[in-house]
Amino acid sequence: MSSTNKYDHIIVAVHGIGDQTRNATVRDVATRFARMPGLAKSGIFVAPQPLGYFHTDVTDAVKVSVLGDIVPGAPLSSIGFSEVYWADIPEVVVREGHMMDETKAWARTIVSRTRAMYHQTRLELEGAKRLRMDAAQGLRIKEPDFTLAAEVLEEIIDTIEVLENLLFLAKKAGIANFELGRMLQQYVGDVQIFTEFKLFRCDIIARFHGAMEQIHRDYPGARLHVVAHSEGTVVSFLGLLYALSGERIVTKGSKEAAIDAVSGAPAWIAKVAGYLTIGSPIDKHLLLWPELFKQFDFTRSTPRVSDKTIQWRNYYDYGDPVGFELDTAREWLKDINCKAFNFERSDDIGYARYLLPGKAHTDYWTDAAVFEHFVNDVILEQGEAVAPKTRPIVYVIGPMFPYLLSFVLLYVASLILHRAVSGFLHPPLEFDQSYALWTNFGTLPSGSPVGTQLYAESLGLALLYGGTTLLARWPRLAKGLTWWVAGAGAFVLGCVGYVTFVPRGSRDAIGALFHSFRGDVSLWTLAAALLVALIGLTGVSKPGTDLPDGDTVKPDAAKAKLVHKAAQACAAKVFNTKASRRSRWFSRRMRPLVLCGAALIAAIIVVQKIAAPPTLTAKDRVSIVERYVARKRFEFKRQHAGLEMDPATTEALTQDGKERAAQFAALVQARPPVWPVLIAGAAFLYLWWLAALIFDLGFVWQRYIRQSLALKRLASWRELRKQCKATTQGISGM
């Protein structure tokens, strides 16, 4: 066998985001292939090669046939492996750090980009309606709250950083590895460089083209299969599109790069037979950076690539925050009449197999089912290959995990605070204090709740805190009446839980602040919680506008308008609702919810302490005085042969008895320190805030990432613009 015919198939690996080690990706792919029974004969263990084995130029890197030479005649012996390494290009920019936007600033540019897309779609739709197009009359578009979206994005970025810091020790202990923050920074950096810096983008694609040309020149008979991950899928996709349209990227020196059109597609493109993408953000790039995909003309591609030559298989986990279904890419290929890819809906394979969202983006490399399906379906062409299946336990637990974690944190916070406050209001007595009370009155003061009662009351309080938080957060995270109703429903369920699990006596003690109000104390406590939630909702409000002047309406109505306007002005000053969201201090993020909640809880604790019954009641004090005076009278009669005590002596003894009662009360009165309550209060506020952050992160991940709502919204605008364009062209062609 000649060297040019050494391989039937060559796997070209294209790595994704982050700090990639050179040749680590091709080794992972080669190792995964070596573990497949269909490629290496059963019973033979093929050892993975070290990185140094692959460390050479592109031509020699395809020499890894040693993986198959262990078993002569096995399919693995005719498969070569190579890698397109491009991480060193953005690494220079990331290391310098002064060319790119910070993560939050870049997130705001993405929101601004989506706002521009919305206005473009709205203008095109209004233009179509002005032409009285029947097809356009039923089309509608709803404006999202872009400034709120930008602020929520900032909160999510903060949440990820907080969680990564908190789980640092867990990572060191090997318990959990939360890599979402690091992955976010790496993804943002690589995406910025590739999408917004033409020089570096051209350099990266030139690296891909150069590798493919060199591989094909050395092994012209081999079928090429591109295996790409994460941002590497965008690199390889654009590289394939340039080649299919008769263009290739070349670099001119070290500081300049350009697109160099050639008179036909490079020869290697006709040998590309398979395309595997995992964790791919291609749809995001198509929707957010459409300008990167506008210059392709497939009419000049020579030699012509046959229809559906490239077998494309895309794999994505529902929990992957980067990889998605590529339905927009399929539609876009049809729109531009690119028929080279065989990529149907059944080839876009989604599942729930990886539990942790951050780790899900890299777990593809350890999933044998993904690579076995691609090998059997595309390389070996064995007919009905078995696609990766959803793991039921991951499908169920995955979406619930952040919500369960959030509630557990809230319950722990409630338990810490309730236990500390109960211990402060009803402290345990020392042995001598308990003995003195028991011998004098035969009773002991009621202590703080313990055991099952403590846990049940903490659960009821946690449900009330949770319902209040959901009412304040849901309308902020998702627009629409549905989420206001859902928040109200969650608050009602929290109130029911509070009344169910917290007994009446404890509710009366908690609501001591409202004892002077009419009606049920528990209802006033729930009303106060509702007020906290409503104040927390002030962060949802847009900057307000002035009401009409009073002289434009009837006198009575004008007076009502002025009163209403004055009330609004007062509320705007207190809650910052007139200011733009970025310049607010109070009505921003979770500050109104947490600060008002903290103030209410502090007031309740203080009033509970003030209103708490003393260890000795007034009746107990009177009993001590009466018994003291009676004993002294008895002693007086014994000493004075039955004579009665005169009133002056009795009065003196009464005063002496009162002093002794006060001394006894001081003896049995516990004085617990206040610092445990302060520490518990701080812990409660921190855990409550953290639970709300985790809930926000889970909700945003579930709604906008796992369910792809954000991409679907952008895709719907794109489809709307297509319909407007089609109807406009139809009218102009009549």
Greatest mean pLDDT among 64-78, 529-543, 674-688 = 674-688
Asked if pLDDT for residue 312 goes beyond 90, the answer is: yes
Give 630-677 pLDDT, tens digit per residue. Answer: 877 777 777 777 677 777 877 888 888 788 777 777 766 666 778 888
Asked if pLDDT for residue 394 goes beyond 70, the answer is: yes
Give mean pLDDT, residues 66-73: 56
Of residues 537, 488, 497, the one with CA closest to residue 410 = 497
pLDDT interval class at 549 (50, 70, 90) = very low
Give mean pLDDT, residues 43-56: 62
Greatest mean pLDDT among 141-145, 267-271, 612-616 = 267-271
The pLDDT of residue 457 is 92
Considering the chain, what percentage of its residues have pLDDT values greater than 70? 69
The pLDDT of residue 366 is 85
Picking from 178-192, 412-426, 605-619, 660-674, which range would have the lowest pLDDT averaged per residue?
Answer: 178-192
Q: For the range 481-490, what are the long-range contacts, defined as Cβ-Cβ under 8 Å and sequence gap of 24 or more?
A: 487/533, 490/466
Q: What is the residue whose two structure tokens read 């872009």?
A: 146
Asked if pLDDT for residue 258 goes beyond 60, the answer is: no
Q: What is the residue whose two structure tokens read 């130029």?
A: 57
Give 196-252 pLDDT, tens digit per residue. Answer: 888 888 888 888 988 898 888 888 888 999 999 988 999 999 999 988 888 877 765
Asked if pLDDT for residue 286 goes beyond 80, the answer is: yes
The pLDDT of residue 85 is 87
Give mean pLDDT, residues 74-78: 74
Greatest mean pLDDT among 152-156, 422-426, 518-522 = 518-522
Question: Cα(635)–Cα(521) distance, rounded to whole angstroms?
Answer: 50
Asked if pLDDT for residue 97 goes beyond 50, the answer is: yes
The pLDDT of residue 94 is 64
Give mean pLDDT, residues 101-115: 71
The pLDDT of residue 368 is 86
Picking from 36-45, 56-65, 113-122, which range would have the lowest pLDDT averaged per residue?
Answer: 56-65
Asked if pLDDT for residue 54 goes beyond 80, the answer is: no
Picking from 73-77, 184-188, 242-246, 424-428, which range would have the lowest pLDDT averaged per residue?
Answer: 184-188
340 vs 56 pLDDT, higher one: 340
- Cα distances (Å, whole numbers) of residue 294 to 24, 241, 257, 290, 712: 33, 11, 19, 7, 21
The pLDDT of residue 655 is 84
Considering the chain, what percentage of its residues have pLDDT values greater than 90? 16
Q: Give bridge partners of residue 80 from the DSSP assignment.
A: 10
Question: Cα(401)–Cα(701) distance, rounded to whole angstroms?
Answer: 12
Picking from 178-187, 202-211, 706-715, which range would have the lowest pLDDT averaged per residue?
Answer: 178-187
Asked if pLDDT for residue 598 goes beyond 90, the answer is: no
Q: Are 296 and 202 in contact (CB under 8 A)?
A: no
Picking from 258-262, 281-285, 459-463, which range would have the lowest pLDDT averaged per residue?
Answer: 258-262
The pLDDT of residue 675 is 86
176 vs 196 pLDDT, higher one: 196
611 vs 513 pLDDT, higher one: 513
236 vs 584 pLDDT, higher one: 236
Question: Cα(195)–Cα(554) distance, rounded to whole angstroms?
Answer: 58
The pLDDT of residue 565 is 66
Greatest mean pLDDT among 148-157, 170-179, 618-627 = 618-627
Greatest mean pLDDT among 7-21, 428-442, 456-470, 580-594 = 456-470
Token pair of 399 as six digits: 């979406």
Asked if pLDDT for residue 137 goes beyond 60, the answer is: no
Give mean pLDDT, residues 354-375: 84
Q: Are 124 and 721 in contact (CB under 8 A)?
A: yes
445 vs 119 pLDDT, higher one: 119
Asked if pLDDT for residue 128 goes beyond 70, the answer is: no
Tell me the average pLDDT of the chain. 77
Asked if pLDDT for residue 358 goes beyond 70, the answer is: no
Question: Cα(427)–Cα(446) distance, rounded to whole angstroms?
Answer: 9
pTM reported for the whole predicted model: 0.78
DSSP 359-378: HHTTGGGG-HHHHHHHIIII
Question: Cα(219)–Cα(61) distance, rounded to whole angstroms?
Answer: 12
311 vs 728 pLDDT, higher one: 311
Other C-beta atoms closer than 10 Å to the C-beta of 673 total 9
Question: Cα(470)–Cα(495) distance, rounded to whole angstroms?
Answer: 12
User: Peptide bond before 303: cis, by omega within 30 degrees of 0?
Assistant: yes
> Which residues are CB-contacts of 97 (< 8 A; sequence separation ≥ 6)?
none
The pLDDT of residue 67 is 62
Asked if pLDDT for residue 335 goes beyond 60, the answer is: yes
529 vs 621 pLDDT, higher one: 529
Picking from 353-362, 422-431, 594-603, which range would have the lowest pLDDT averaged per residue?
Answer: 422-431
DSSP 222-262: SEEEEEEETHHHHHHHHHHHHHHTTEEEEEETTTEEEEEE-
